[in-house]
Amino acid sequence: MAEATLTVEVGEDDHIQGPADAPVTLVEYGDYECSHCGEAYGIVKDIQRRLGDRMRFAFRNFPLTQVHPHAESAAVAAEAAAAQGKFWEMHDTLFENQQDLSERALLSYAAELGLDEDQFASDIENETYREKIEADFMSGAESGVNGTPTFFINGVRYDGNWRSGDFFEALQSGQSRASAT
């Protein structure tokens, strides 16, 4: 059985937290409107706190627009915030406010984060961000993303339960499969 592995390495196109030379890299493919991703957001934050500089985290877009009508515009908002150096602030704000991802809400979050509002409003119309999101989606599809969120630990898809302590242990060891032979 072929295991699912990342086809696109973490690189300069990614939004990254943590040091480049961290022994463990966690990649999430997520959707800002997905409630499971909202739950995972807190879990990942907690693990980041516990592992500190031992883990690097990258977030990639995988909006399931057929079931989540606001997922794409929310992803665009985060990418547009990134253009002003505030990707993670917007990423966090979106996951903390999943119940309202309307166009108006997105503009107000941008204002709260101190973004240049005119710039932001024009950026969210920019096709470049949609292309970036599509590229994320494509790399996810080819890497075996099988739902949202999907996690990859050091390039290998994590098929265990991310709600359990196993996830932390897998990240601590840097291996998606605890008993991999």
What residues line the site for another protein (CB under 8 A)?
1-2, 4, 7, 64-67, 137-138, 141-148, 150, 157, 159
For another protein, the closer of residues 4 and 16 by Cβ is: 4
Q: Which CB atom, from 23 or from 160, has the smaller least distance to another protein?
A: 160
8 Å CB contact between 110 and 74: no
Give CA separation, 164 vs 1, 43, 170, 175, in Å. Answer: 25, 10, 11, 15
In the complex, the smallest distance separating the C-beta of residue 148 from another protein, rounded to whole angstroms, is 8
Work out how close the CB of 3 gets to another protein at its nearest, in angstroms, rounded to a whole number: 10
Nearest to another protein of 74, 110 (CB atom): 74
CB of 88 to another protein, least distance (A): 25
Q: Name which of 89, 98, 88, 80 is nearest 59 in CA terms.
A: 88
**Residues pairing with 142 in the sheet:** none
Question: Among residues 93 and 148, whose Cβ is nearest to another protein?
Answer: 148
Cα separations in angstroms, 126 against 14, 29, 60: 19, 22, 19
Which residue's CB is nearer to another protein, number 2 or number 180? 2
Sequence-ordered list of residues with C-beta below 8 angstroms from that of 50, at least 6 positions apart, any chain? 168
Task: Provide, rounded to whole angstroms, the least separation between the CB of residue 135 and another protein.
Answer: 13
To another protein, the closest distance from the beta carbon of 166 in angstroms equals: 14
| Strands 55-61 and 24-30, sheet pairing | parallel
